[in-house]
């Protein structure tokens, strides 16, 4: 039976990436060595790193004056690195979910943090509107897609102060205007590569403005100056990232991928709206994530949750259970998720509904 991987991360990878990684594990670039044992200083791997950076810049149309680095630690380390490098007096954060809240908590270690808005009052099922960002804040932090609760910003912000965005789960899924941001970061294990590498896109001019001493490894300038090679980078995930970026370019780039992602999300949301058994957890269509579709059993059918979960699994639907903190269901529709898998899930939902 074909398996359809809806896990939220680590998540589905393009088959192209998987195959190229397997080849490189056996023999990387004709070196006779595995990608897992080659020196990160070798000309073959330096070319991989350089190409990965170039692909990010090309696919996102990164303007001049920005650097792209690949480092370890996941987005969770960035929760501390951002304020360590950026927060001098105070920062502004918007709290739209679990990861946004964790980022805010870390920032408080380094200085004053203003929570400009929060959607916690309704279990994070909407994106706050009409909030005011202090003009004297050093930066404004946002989490563009909220994997646990299924909300997503669909437009770039228009804010006067530097904007920092955690785009772990929707990077490369839609066009963005990088010039609207001071820093964009994210863990790779959603839309880019296996866990183990973190991408950071940084506007060079925003650095060097804090007075605190910054440990060498936690200073963005270190990694920019050493071109992501200050210490041994996560070689295998960087290689996988390059292959995913190549695949994305071959597919037509971010704009083409966005069109497909909208189609996938619409297909699933339409079935949720049509069905009497299911309901979306995010009521406002404008706030609904196209990456993580979250839904529950309708009020009259809540007792069927475990039965549907088992039924879906029997049909090859893997990883659709909601996050342990919220329950229900979550179908992650990242770039590598084929349309046929979304159709298979919709057919599964229809078949289950016909029993009732």
Residues noted as catalytic: 99, 166, 190
Rg (CA), the chain: 21
How far apart (Å, rounded) are the C-alpha atoms in residues 220 and 230?
11
> What is the 3-state composition of the chain as percent helix, strand, coil, each rounded to the nearest 5?
40, 15, 40
| Residue 240, token pair as written in the block | 């996988």
Between the CA of residue 59 and those of 12, 49, 52, 191, 204, what are the distances in Å? 20, 16, 11, 14, 19
How far apart (Å, rounded) are the C-alpha atoms in residues 153 and 74?
21
Single out the residue of 171, 125, 170, 166 nearest to residue 328, CA to CA.
125
- Element housing 314 (H / E): helix 305-314
Q: For residue 188, how many other CB atoms are within 10 A of its CB? A: 26
CA atoms within 13 A on the CB side of 337: 35
- E-assigned strand segments in the chain: 4-5, 66-71, 90-95, 112-118, 140-143, 145-146, 151-152, 163-166, 183-187, 198-203, 278-280, 292-297, 317-318, 329-332
How far apart (Å, rounded) are the C-alpha atoms in residues 92 and 90?
7
Question: 90 and 137 in contact (C-beta within 8 Å)?
Answer: yes
Q: Is 210 exposed, middle or buried (0-12, 13-18, 19+ CB in 10 A)?
A: middle
Residue 17's Cα: distance from chain center in Å? Answer: 18
Which residue bears the tokens 């920005």? 66
């Amino acid at each position: 039976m074909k398996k359809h991987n809806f896990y939220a991360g680590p998540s589905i990878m393009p088959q192209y990436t998987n195959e190229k990684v397997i080849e490189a594990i056996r023999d990387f670039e004709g070196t006779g060595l595995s990608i897992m044992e080659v020196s990160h200083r070798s000309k073959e791997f330096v070319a991989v790193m350089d190409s990965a950076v170039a692909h990010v810049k090309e696919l996102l149309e990164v303007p001049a004056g920005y650097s792209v680095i690949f480092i370890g630690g996941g987005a969770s380390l960035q929760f501390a690195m951002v304020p360590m490098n950026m927060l001098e007096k105070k920062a502004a954060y918007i709290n739209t979910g679990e990861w946004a809240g964790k980022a805010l908590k870390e920032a408080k270690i380094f200085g004053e943090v203003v929570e400009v808005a929060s959607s916690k009052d309704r279990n994070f099922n909407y994106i706050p509107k009409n909030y005011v960002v202090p003009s004297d804040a050093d930066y404004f932090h946002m989490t563009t897609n909220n994997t646990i609760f299924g909300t997503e910003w669909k437009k770039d912000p228009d804010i006067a102060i530097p904007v920092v965005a955690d785009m772990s789960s929707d990077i490369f899924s839609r066009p963005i205007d990088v010039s609207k941001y001071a820093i964009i970061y994210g863990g790779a294990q959603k839309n880019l590569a296996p866990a183990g590498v973190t991408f950071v896109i940084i506007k060079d001019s925003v650095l060097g403005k804090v007075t605190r001493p910054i440990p060498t490894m936690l200073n963005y300038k270190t990694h920019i100056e050493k071109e992501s090679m200050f210490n041994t980078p996560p070689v295998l995930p960087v290689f996988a990232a390059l292959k995913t970026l190549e695949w994305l370019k071959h597919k037509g780039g971010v704009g083409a991928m966005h069109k497909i992602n909208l189609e996938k999300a619409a297909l699933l949301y339409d079935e949720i709206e049509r069905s009497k058994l299911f309901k979306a957890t995010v009521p406002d269509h404008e706030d609904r994530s196209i990456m993580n579709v979250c839904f529950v059993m309708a009020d009259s059918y809540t007792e069927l949750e475990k039965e549907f979960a088992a039924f879906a699994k029997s049909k090859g639907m893997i990883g659709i259970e909601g996050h342990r903190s919220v329950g229900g269901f979550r179908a992650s529709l990242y770039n590598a998720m084929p349309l046929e898998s979304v159709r298979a899930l919709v057919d599964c939902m229809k078949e289950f509904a016909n029993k009732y």
